[in-house]
Amino acid sequence: MDKTRSSAGITLAVWKALFLREAVTRVSGGRAAWLWLLLEPVAHLAILMLIFSTIRRRFMPGFDFALFLAIGILGYNLFRNSATRSMAAISANRALFAYRQVKPVDVVLVRAFLEGGIQLCVALVLFSGMLLLGFDVLPVDPLTVFSVFALFWLFGTGLGLILSVGSTLIPELGRVANLLFIPLYFLSGVLFSPAVLPPELRDLLLLNPVMQGLELLRSAFSSQYHVASDIDIAYLAAFTLVSLFFGLAVHVRFATRMAMQ
């Protein structure tokens, strides 16, 4: 009997093994590591609610401020974590490249897939808890919510593919990228709506596709939330496709060099 496996079969077997390895490492990486995955966004939300509790009515009229923050935190974390954790996948799995079946792109894609699943579970648990507490978390446009979350995950994956190559070939690039995610958090509208900004500043910040994605998410959760007229999901989709294409291209170009780095 011919037991030769196809290339697709080998790739799927590699992805399955890498996924199980990454999942076990992530969930059992420390004492109650699985619990911290949930407590981190909850604590983040609680601290921000405490800080902004005195100004929430003036800051965001017509939208529950807890839900406003939760959407911003979950959306941004999905994008950022997919990018930053994928960026570090090659250095964390370098020993596996001794097996010729394992390629650098495999470990990046598998880690991004795992991160997307983790963030989805965190979002479902957090929204379920808010629903039990009496918050109205049911979206008015579920299709847009699903589409934007999927684009955030794919955009983060594409950026992670690019950064994984850059940080492997130039280690300092990874440190700079991690630093840049800090100001990006504040420039993406996680804590505020661009509607409260002057028109000139608002138009400038809306060049950020992450801010546009968060605005689309919030409008999909509440029909009373007003977004700028130039918000377009195609803008976020364009950045996502370009990042994925360029990320896969640089992996093909530097695959051998990264495996031998």
CA distance 10 to 185: 39
pLDDT at 62: 59
- At 197, phi and psi to the nearest 5? -95, 155
pLDDT at 58: 46
Query: What b/e sequence results for 106-117 when a residue is b if at least 16 CB atoms lie within 10 Å of its CB, and e otherwise?
Result: bbbbbbbbbbbe
The answer to whether the CB of 194 falls within 8 A of the CB of 188 is no
Whole-model pTM? Answer: 0.89
CA distance 19 to 132: 33
How do the pLDDT tens digits run along the chain, 261 residues long?
445 677 778 888 888 888 888 888 777 765 656 666 677 777 777 777 666 655 554 445 557 788 888 899 899 999 999 999 999 889 888 888 888 888 899 999 999 999 999 888 888 888 888 888 888 888 899 999 999 999 999 999 999 999 999 998 888 888 999 999 999 999 998 888 888 888 889 889 999 999 999 999 998 988 888 777 788 899 999 999 999 999 999 999 988 888 776
The number of residues making up the chain comes to 261
pLDDT at 214: 94
179: Cα separation from own chain's centroid: 16
Q: How is residue 132 written in tokens?
A: 């039990």
pLDDT at 60: 57
pLDDT at 79: 95
- At 230, phi and psi to the nearest 5? -95, 15
Question: Among candidates 124, 109, 131, 41, which has minimal Cα distance to 251?
Answer: 109
Give residue 53's identity as a one-letter amino acid code.
S
Question: Among candidates 44, 37, 246, 255, which has minimal Cα distance to 155?
Answer: 246
Q: How is residue 84 written in tokens?
A: 């930053």
Q: How many CB atoms lie within 10 A of CB 124?
A: 10
pLDDT at 1: 44
Q: DSSP string covering the chain, please?
A: ---PPPHHHHHHHHHHHHHHHHHHHHHTSSTTHHHHHHHHHHHHHHHHHHHHTTTHHHHSTTS-HHHHHHHHHHHHHHHHHHHHHHHTHHHHTGGGGGSTT--HHHHHHHHHHHHHHHHHHHHHHHHHHHHHTT-----S-HHHHHHHHHHHHHHHHHHHHHHHHHHHHSHHHHHHHHHHHHHHHHHTTSSS-GGGS-HHHHHHHTTSHHHHHHHHHHHHH-TT----TT--HHHHHHHHHHHHHHHHHHHHHHHHHHHT-
pLDDT at 101: 86
What residues contact 37, with CB distance under 8 A and at least 6 apart? 27, 118, 121, 122
pLDDT at 29: 60
- At 67, phi and psi to the nearest 5? -65, -40
pLDDT at 2: 46
